[in-house]
Amino acid sequence: MDYLDKKKKELRPEDFPKLKELAQTKSWWDSIDQLDLIIGEITFHYPETKQVMLDWSKDQDFWLRRIAIDHQLMRKEKTDMDLLEKVILNNLGQSEFFINKAIGWSLRNYSKVNPDWVGAFIDHYRDQLSPLSIREGSKYLPS
């Protein structure tokens, strides 16, 4: 993962199949969380790969769904709000801890630059978000 992280600016959309294979064979939160940012770098530079993230956000493999949810972490004001919303909506009502935590982290991270949008999102989908997602996503929102 450290090697891939150092080379992430050299990765291209054609690397997605190998990265997907890596995500599905070496799956644990620490490796997946590093892949979030590596895959996010590709998606940021190659917008045509957004469809891959939408597809992964609906995959039966929850680790791929977690990558889709968190791949924009650290993008701040460059976050694709529409994509973020779609990948989260594709994962509402989940009981999987790692999915609900990812939703919360993505919302919390984005709330640092767009608290109004995150607050409105949480209010609108409160009944479908897990308490964990709400707690994490609301962490930096004004009370």
Q: What is the mean pLDDT of the chain?
A: 96
What would the mean pLDDT of 2-10 be, rounded to a whole number?
93
Contact between 52 and 39 under an 8 Å Cβ cutoff? The reply is no
pLDDT of 57-71, one tens digit each? 999 999 999 999 999
User: Is the per-residue pLDDT at 13 higher than 80?
Assistant: yes
- Residue 28 pLDDT class (50, 70, 90 cuts): confident
Q: How big is the chain, counted in residues? A: 143
pLDDT of 32-44, one tens digit each? 999 999 999 999 9
